[in-house]
C-alpha cells in the first residue's frame, strides 16, 4: 500500500531536487541553513563598517527618544515598549496628564523579558484586549519566537497576575474575543478538521468560563476552502452587537449579525466590500461597482447607511467619498460626533472631517492638518470625545505625534529625534510610463544638487500587492544605512498596491500579475534614462509579496540591476498554495493546481524561471525559520538552485522572528546591517575596485 505514495514522493523529488528543504526544523535542513548563514556572515561581517552600522541601527531601535504610541482604554493610555533594557518589551500604561510630559511616569503591567526568564520561553508580544467597562481583565496574546501562531492567556490588571484557571487558548492561529466577563468567542485549532486549508480557524465557538474549551458551543462553521472564521462583540455603549465574520479569501468576505437567540443574519452587501458597523451606521468600502435600485456606486467609493434601516430592508446610502483618477480612499476613523476621512491624492494624504447634520453628511478639511507627507488621524475615544491623535511624517522628517480636537488646531505632543542629518537631502515625486502606457508614480530621496551622470548608487524598493499603499514615512534605517553612504533611495508605487484604490490593485491580479513587474521595470528604466543611476549601480529590495517582486525582477529583467535583497519571499509559485498560509493568497495569484491557471502563474514563478548561464544580479535572500506565514522553503530552495547554477547568491535565515524576520531589536539591527552592507559592497565599490555584481 505504500508503493504509490513512495513513487509519488520520488517523482516529486526528481522534479524538485530541493523539496527536502521544505522540512522547516529537520536536523539536515538546519545544518544546511547554518552553513549558508556562516558563508554570508563571514563575507558581510568582515566588512570594516559592518559592526558600526549594526550598532548604530540597534541604537536607533533601542532609543528612549522614540515616540511611545498609546491607545486609550478607560482612564489609561497603554503602550508596549522595547529598548536596550527591555529586549522583548514591557506592557505599561499612564495617564494623559503624564503622557503630555517629556518623561512620563509609566506603570509597568507585564515584563516579557522577566516572563521569559521565569518560564524558560521566548515569548514575543502579540497584544492585549481588555474588557469594558473596568478594563481589569485582559486577554493577552503571546507568540513563541514571533510566529503568527500564538497562545492567549487571561491577565488580571488589578493583581498583575495571570488568572488562575482563567481563559487559556493553546498555541495556534486564532484568538479570543470578549463577550462578557464570563464568556468569550474562541476561534482556533480545535483538532482534526477544524482549520481551513490556509491553516486558519474554520470554526468559531462561544465559550463559558469554567468549562473545557472542547465543550464550547459552535456558533458558526465555515468550509475547508474558506480562509478565516472569527466572532466578536462590538462593545460600544448602547450599540452592543455580536458579529461573525467569514473571510473566504482576501477581499471576499461575509459579515453576519448574531441575534440574542443565536440566529445569524447576513449583512446583504457585496462580498468584495469592506464592511464596518459603527454605532448607527453601516459603512461600506466598495471594491467593485454596486447597483442598488436605480443608483450605481463606483468601485472605490465609501458609502454609509443607517444600520437598523439596512437590516430592515432599506437600501438608502450617502456617498462619503467617490474616487477620481488621482484620488483614492485610504481610511476613516470615528470620533464621538464625526468621522475623520483620509484620502490619497497622487499618494499624498488629505484629511477631512465628515459630520452628519440635518439628515446629510457635511465635509470640511481637518483644521491644522499638514499638506505634505504621510498624515494619519485616529479618534482617541469615540464614545467620550472628538479628540484625536495625528501623526505626521515623510522620508526625511522625523515623525511628529500631535493631539487635537475637531474644530481646533492640533498641538505637537511627541516628536521622534533625527537619527541622522537629513538637511542635505530632498524628496521628489516622479512618474514613469509602464509598458501599457500607465503612469506610475515613485518617490526619490537624494542629496540636493544630485549629479545626473548615471553614477549614483540607487536602491529601489517596492511591494505591489494586496492593495497595500507605500506612502512616505520617516526611514532612519535607510538614512543611516544607505543615504549617508551617498546612496539614492526610491520607492515605486506600482500596480497591485492600493495607491489609486481597488482599480490599481485589480489591474495586477492573477493573469495580469506581470503588469506590476512591468511597472517596476519602468521605474528602473526611468531612473536610468534620467541619469540618476545605471544598471551597474541599481539595486532592489522587497519582502513577502515584495520578495516575489524582487525574485521576478531578477529572473525577468536581469540586465537592469546589479544587486537584489529578497526578504521572506514567495518564490515557488507552483507549491505556494500548499505551504503554510499560501492557500489564502490564491485570489491574488491564482491556483497553480488548475492547468489553465498554472499557464500564467508559471510566468511569474522565479523558482521555475531561473536558469544557468544567465548573468543575474547578485542576490541576498533573508528569511526566518519561525515564519509560519510565508514558508522559509521558498528562500531556501531558490538559494540552493541559484547556488547550484553558480550564480552569485547569499543567504541568511534568522531562527526566530516570524514573518517580520526578527523577534527583537538586536536581530532586526543585524538583519538590516546585513542587507545594507551587501548592497553597499555590490553598488558602492571602493575607489579603483569593481563592484562585485558589475557586469
* Nearest-10 Cα torsion for 474, 477, 482, 483: 30
Q: Which of these is catalytic: 631, 634, 659, 670?
A: 659
Sorted by sequence, the CB contacts under 8 Å of residue 487 that are 6+ apart come out as 456, 457, 458, 459, 679, 680, 683, 684
> Which of 544, 584, 605, 624 is an active site residue?
544
CB within 8 Å of 375: residues ≥ 6 apart:
342, 349, 351, 369, 390, 391, 392, 393
Going by C-beta distance under 8 Å and a sequence separation of 6 or more, which residues neighbour residue 640? 18, 21, 32
Report the distance separating Cα 39 and Cα 62, nearest Å.
Answer: 28
Contacts of 171 (CB under 8 A, 6+ apart): 144, 149, 150, 151
**C-alpha distances in angstroms, 462 versus 223, 302, 495, 500?**
34, 27, 10, 15
Overall size of the chain counted in residues: 695
Q: How far from the centroid of its chain's Cα atoms is residue 103's Cα?
A: 31
HSE (side-chain half, CA atoms, 13 Å) at 349: 27
- Respond yes or no: is residue 544 known to be catalytic: yes
Q: CA-to-CA distance for 409 and 372, rounded, in angstroms?
A: 17
* Lookup: cell for 92: 505599561
Whole-angstrom distance, CA of residue 240 vs CA of residue 254: 20
Residue 353: CB atoms within 10 Å: 22
Provide the CA 578 distance to its chain's centre, in angstroms. Answer: 22
The DSSP output letter for 466 is: T
Summarize the chain as % helix, strand, coil (round to 5): 25, 35, 40
Asked if 282 and 255 count as a contact pair (C-beta separation under 8 A), the reply is no
659 as an active site residue: the answer is yes
Rounded to 5°, the CA angle 383-389-394 comes to 150
Residues 259 and 270: beta-carbon distance below 8 Å: no
Q: What is the CA radius of gyration of the chain?
A: 26
In sequence order, the β-bridge partners of residue 94 are: 77
Report the C-alpha gap between 187 and 213 in whole angstroms. 10
At a CB cut-off of 8 Å and minimum separation 6, what does 300 contact?
A: 286, 287, 322, 323, 328, 329, 501, 502, 503
Nearest to 186 by CA among 147, 151, 226: 151
Whole-Å CA distances, 320 to 286, 297, 339, 603: 12, 11, 10, 40
Supply angle C-alpha 149, 22, 120, rounded to 5.
40
- SS3 label, residue 417: coil
Q: How far apart are CA 548 and CA 607, in angstroms?
A: 10
CA pseudo-torsion sign 140, 142, 146, 149: negative
Give the residue numbers marked as catalytic: 544, 659
Amino acid at each position: 500500500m505504500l508503493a504509490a505514495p513512495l513513487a509519488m514522493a520520488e517523482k516529486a523529488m526528481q522534479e524538485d531536487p530541493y523539496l527536502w528543504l521544505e522540512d522547516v526544523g529537520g536536523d539536515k535542513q538546519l545544518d544546511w541553513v547554518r552553513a549558508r548563514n556562516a558563508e554570508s556572515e563571514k563575507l558581510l561581517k568582515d566588512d570594516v563598517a559592518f559592526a558600526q552600522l549594526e550598532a548604530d541601527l540597534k541604537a536607533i531601535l533601542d532609543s528612549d527618544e522614540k515616540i511611545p504610541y498609546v491607545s486609550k482604554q478607560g482612564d489609561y493610555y497603554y503602550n508596549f515598549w522595547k529598548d536596550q533594557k527591555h529586549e522583548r518589551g514591557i506592557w505599561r500604561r499612564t495617564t494623559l496628564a503624564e503622557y503630555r510630559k517629556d518623561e512620563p511616569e509609566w506603570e509597568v503591567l507585564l515584563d516579557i523579558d522577566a516572563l521569559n526568564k521565569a518560564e524558560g520561553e521566548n515569548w514575543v508580544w502579540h497584544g492585549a484586549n481588555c474588557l469594558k467597562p473596568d478594563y481589569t481583565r485582559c486577554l493577552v496574546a503571546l507568540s513563541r519566537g514571533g510566529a503568527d501562531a500564538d497562545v492567549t492567556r487571561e491577565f488580571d490588571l488589578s493583581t498583575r497576575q495571570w488568572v488562575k484557571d482563567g481563559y487559556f487558548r493553546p498555541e495556534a492561529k486564532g484568538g479570543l474575543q470578549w463577550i462578557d466577563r464570563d464568556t468569550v468567542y474562541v476561534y482556533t485549532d480545535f483538532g482534526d478538521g477544524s482549520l481551513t486549508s490556509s491553516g486558519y480557524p474554520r470554526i468559531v465557538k462561544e465559550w463559558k468560563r469554567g468549562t473545557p474549551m472542547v465543550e464550547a458551543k459552535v456558533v458558526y462553521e465555515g468550509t475547508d476552502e474558506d480562509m478565516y472564521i472569527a466572532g466578536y462583540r462590538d462593545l460600544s455603549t448602547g450599540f452592543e452587537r455580536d458579529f461573525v465574520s467569514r473571510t473566504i479569501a482576501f477581499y471576499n468576505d461575509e459579515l453576519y449579525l448574531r441575534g440574542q437567540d443565536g440566529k445569524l443574519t447576513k449583512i446583504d452587501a457585496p462580498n468584495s466590500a469592506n464592511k464596518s458597523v459603527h454605532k448607527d451606521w453601516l459603512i461600506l468600502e466598495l471594491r467593485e461597482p454596486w447597483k442598488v435600485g436605480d443608483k450605481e456606486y463606483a468601485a472605490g467609493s465609501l458609502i454609509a447607511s443607517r444600520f437598523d434601516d439596512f437590516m430592515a430592508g432599506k437600501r438608502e446610502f450617502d456617498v462619503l467619498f467617490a474616487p477620481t483618477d488621482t484620488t483614492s480612499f485610504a481610511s476613516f476613523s470615528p470620533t464621538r460626533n464625526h468621522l475623520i476621512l483620509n484620502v490619497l491624492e497622487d499618494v499624498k494624504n488629505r484629511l477631512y472631517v465628515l459630520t452628519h447634520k440635518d439628515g446629510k453628511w457635511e465635509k470640511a478639511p481637518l483644521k491644522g492638518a499638514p499638506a505634505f507627507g504621510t498624515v494619519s488621524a485616529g479618534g482617541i475615544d469615540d464614545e467620550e470625545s472628538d479628540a484625536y491623535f495625528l501623526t505626521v511624517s515623510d522620508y526625511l522628517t522625523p515623525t511628529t505625534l500631535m493631539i487635537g480636537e475637531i474644530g481646533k488646531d492640533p498641538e505637537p505632543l511627541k516628536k521622534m529625534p533625527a537619527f541622522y542629518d537629513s538637511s542635505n537631502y530632498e524628496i521628489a515625486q516622479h512618474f514613469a510610463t509602464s509598458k501599457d502606457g500607465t503612469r506610475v508614480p515613485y518617490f526619490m530621496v537624494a542629496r540636493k544638487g544630485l549629479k545626473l551622470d548615471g553614477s549614483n548608487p540607487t536602491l529601489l524598493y517596492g511591494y505591489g500587492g494586496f492593495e497595500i499603499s507605500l506612502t512616505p514615512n520617516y526611514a532612519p534605517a535607510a538614512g543611516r544605512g544607505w543615504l549617508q553612504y551617498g546612496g539614492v533611495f526610491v520607492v515605486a508605487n506600482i500596480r497591485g498596491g492600493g495607491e489609486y484604490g481597488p482599480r490599481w490593485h485589480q489591474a495586477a491580479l492573477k493573469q495580469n500579475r506581470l503588469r506590476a513587474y512591468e511597472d517596476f521595470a519602468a521605474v528602473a528604466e526611468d531612473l536610468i534614462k534620467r541619469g540618476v543611476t545605471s544598471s551597474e549601480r541599481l539595486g532592489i529590495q522587497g519582502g513577502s509579496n515584495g520578495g516575489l517582486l524582487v525574485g521576478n525582477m531578477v529572473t525577468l529583467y536581469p540586465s537592469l540591476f546589479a544587486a537584489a535583497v529578497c526578504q521572506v519571499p514567495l518564490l515557488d509559485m507552483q507549491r505556494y498554495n500548499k505551504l503554510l498560509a499560501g492557500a489564502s493568497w490564491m485570489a491574488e495569484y491564482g491556483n497553480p493546481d488548475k492547468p489553465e491557471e498554472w499557464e500564467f502563474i508559471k510566468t511569474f514563478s522565479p523558482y521555475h524561471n531561473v536558469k544557468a548561464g544567465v548573468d543575474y544580479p547578485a542576490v541576498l535572500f533573508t528569511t526566518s525559520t519561525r515564519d509560519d506565514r510565508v514558508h522559509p522553503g521558498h528562500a531556501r530552495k531558490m538559494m540552493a538552485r541559484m547556488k547550484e547554477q553558480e550564480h552569485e547568491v547569499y543567504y541568511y535565515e534568522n531562527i526566530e522572528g516570524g514573518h517580520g524576520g526578527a523577534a527583537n531589536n538586536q536581530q532586526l539591527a543585524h538583519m538590516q546591517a546585513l542587507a545594507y552592507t551587501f548592497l553597499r559592497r555590490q553598488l558602492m565599490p571602493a575607489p579603483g575596485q569593481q563592484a562585485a555584481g558589475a557586469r
